[in-house]
A = this chain, B = another copy of it.
Amino acid sequence: MTDMDAYERLIKTFTPRDDLSSDDIALLRSMPLRIATYGKGEEIIAQDSEVSESCLMMTGWTGRAVYLESGKRQITALHIAGDFVDLHGFTLKYMDHSVVALTATQVAFVRHDELKKITHVSPHLTRLFWMLTTIDGAVQRTTIASLGRRPALERLGHLLCELDCRLSVVGLAQDHRYDVPLVQEELADILGLSVVHMNRTIQDLRKAGLVTWQGSRIVIHDFGKLTQFSGFDPRYLNFIKRER
């Protein structure tokens, strides 16, 4: 995954879901991109701001954070290489959340007027970009189900299954082994738990023998078992080729 340029990255986000024609690819490659880097903890997009470009992840991890009046925050989504963090900004313009770099991060910004151009010249690519936002919605629905109805341990298990799938597709996980460069406080903000309970839940997962988790390194011992335990069904990730 080293040295992949931003266009390759984008193409590889589409191809697990649909085939691209050479015209599609040429069109994608004609879009100007602005590469930017951020340090760990930096805010990439501010909550309540208006946006005119959207950002594709190249390397690193980012999260969408919602800050509540109470001072609490919820991370509503996690993003890794190949994810469009805020493509919804193209049709919404208004950002109801911030985007924060959870690690050092490299991203590629696409201007909205370029995306608009695509809606004028390529219905197919338009539908594919659109699809990325609806897959995002599917992930969010799954998160809602987890937060609303799954106890902490299953919730964590489900997250690990999802990350395994997503990281595998971009080559960042092999044999159900991968790195999660997040501190427990960030995980707590993702799973809607307190830090203390987040810690307890990780211990419980270890005790259950389902994973080895040392530092940022995670090894899932029996993926099928974890999948079953946490009610994970990968279909919502839409990693399947279809005519779109």
Report A116-141 residues with CB < 8 Å from chain B CB.
Answer: 116, 119-120, 123, 126-128, 130-131, 133-138, 140-141
In the complex, what residue of chain B is closest to A64 when comparing beta carbons?
Answer: B141
Stretch binding the partner chain, chosen from A90-98, A163-171, A213-221: A90-98
Query: A64-B141, A96-B141 known; A74 and B130 CB under 8 Å?
Result: no
Tell me the number of copies of this protein: 2
Give residues of chain A (68-85) contacting chain B, Cβ–Cβ below 8 Å: 68-70, 72-74, 76-77
Write the nearest CB–CB distance from A49 to chain B, whole angstroms: 11
Query: Out of B93, B138, B143, B238, which one reaches A242, CB within 8 Å?
Result: B93
Tell me which of A25-33, A145-153, A203-211 binds B: A145-153
Is the beta-carbon distance between B91 and A130 smaller than 8 angstroms? yes
- Write the A44-71 contact mask toward B (1 if CB under 8 angstroms, else 0): 0000100000000000000010101110
Q: Which of B97, B123, B231, B242 contacts A119 (CB 8 A)?
A: B123
* B-side contacts of A120, CB under 8 Å: 123
Interface pair A92/B131, CB less than 8 Å apart:
yes
A192 interface contact, C-beta 8 A: yes
Chain B contacts for A137, CB-based, 8 A:
88, 133, 136-137, 140
A197 at interface (Cβ–Cβ under 8 A)? no
Output the nearest chain B residue to A190 by Cβ-Cβ distance.
Answer: B148
Is the beta-carbon distance between B133 and A133 smaller than 8 angstroms?
A: yes
Contact between A96 and B231 (Cβ–Cβ < 8 Å)? no
Closest to A142 in B: B96
A-side interface residues toward B, CB under 8 Å? 48, 64, 66, 68-70, 72-74, 76-77, 88, 90-94, 96-97, 116, 119-120, 123, 126-128, 130-131, 133-138, 140-145, 147-150, 189, 191-192, 231, 235-236, 238, 240, 242, 244
